[in-house]
Structure 1
């Protein structure tokens, strides 16, 4: 079966940047805070918290750090009020960009996003200007290693996945947003570990960009990654073959 993830070319760029800056734990920690605030600190009773914990584990966050984050979240609720705000815009060559923020200061987050677009040759757009070019999907990424492709595909589809794609180094499993938790938990129960597991915005089509546009697009991504308010960045840029800046 085929899909449209192009995981290493699209999403892994940001994943590497997050890891280099040591910020991924902070970002996931904020997801845990929001999940606890909205549904309580008991994972068994809080699907969003279970999803956040899975995301933390995929980022190699130690269990004791996850537990501390949950306890900290329970104590922080009176003083921290995170708001989820989504921004949209265009990168170089008309690349569509969606930015999800989790912030306690909307003026600061808007300023960070606007500056990133401006310095990278892009433009900030209005709500809905590119959202229609993406679909919300659950995505689970598993390292291929010595796993059997057909076996993993059947496990995923039997668990309720919509699609399965075998890339050079990974398997990418796609689900509906509603079925994401069920599929993820079924695969976890089968002993599989994930490189990534999250509900995200996946583009319907991709825009191929040249080296010059890639440099500008990478600048936008790096600046957005520098913002503590930015949680996720989704785009439909297809970087040149071999691009790794």
Structure 2
């Protein structure tokens, strides 16, 4: 289901995915407005210390869930270490985190489902030793923004996908870049490509194919990240005020030290 928003695209691919592309184009109709409201998020994520903290948490989770500090035996750890490499995380820091995680079995991963402003759905990934304290902090934030815990089943609005982010080639317009990226996506086994709100190429693939897809794309592009994420399959439209409220809530949630990542289905 490759979205390229091109007037013409590889015919053999489009014929197979026309119906899905129509659905996805409609789903992302208001994406730019939401991205503009959340413009501060990119700046926060780019902060070196905050990024390294999140990566450290992901490493601990991968070791805990995978049961091994050897990336050859732990694919989740291998993926996180690759993210750390692309983020230029010092090797000594990585080794210190791995050593600490292998000797201390503290902390657990949790996922919380929230029904936010305008009935949007937010998934919050946490890693903490004190889940009750973390939930108290989250409850305080939700209350201030008219939100509540979802009753369950909210995750059905999402699916897990491999996401590969690559730098956009310079000196070319969108149509030319996307036409080339479309061919490259087909060649490497990706399902989807677009230019995202940070002006980078964003390739989507099956979660199980992430490693191979990223490896092939690295031969042509400067890949800045590759990870498995929750992608919304059912979007929720919000008013401008609801978008503003949701953005403020997400900023506060992501500032909590226990929060690894958030996902939402806002369009």
**TM-score if structure 1 supplies the norm length?**
0.81
Q: Number of matched residues? A: 233
Q: For 2:52, which of 25, 43, 50 is the aligned residue? A: 25
Matches within 5 A, 1:165-184: 165-167=194-196, 169-184=199-214
Ranges of 4+ aligned residues in structure 1 off by more than 6 Å: none
Cα distance change on mapping 1:155 and 1:39 into 2, 3 Å: farther
Shift in Å at residue 199 of structure 1? Answer: 0.9
Distance 1:185 1:69, change over 3 A: farther
User: Does residue 102 in structure 1 map to residue 127 in structure 2?
Assistant: yes
> 1:149-205, CA deviations, whole angstroms, 9 ceiling, x for partnerless residues?
4444333332221222234722111111211222223333x1633333211111124
* Partner Cα separation in structure 2 for residue 12 and residue 47 of structure 1: 33
Are positions 1:206 and 2:235 aligned together?
Answer: yes
Backbone CA RMSD of aligned residues: 2.8
Higher Rg? 2
Is the CA contact 1:164–1:173 (under 8 Å) kept in the aligned structure 2?
yes
Map Cα deviations across residues 23-43 of structure 1 (whole Å, 9 max, x no partner).
221111011122234242232
Q: Is the Cα contact below 8 Å between 2:141 and 2:253 reproduced in 1?
A: yes
**Alignment TM-score, normalising by the size of structure 2:** 0.75
CA 1:182–1:112 in 2, change beyond 3 Å: closer, same or farther? farther
Q: 1:67 to 1:227 in 2, by over 3 A?
A: same
Contact 1:80 1:104 in 2 (8 A): no
Distance 1:134 1:67 in 2: 34
Unaligned stretches of 5+ in structure 1?
239-245
Partner SS, residue 209 of structure 1: coil
1:58–1:193 CA contact under 8 A, matched in 2: no
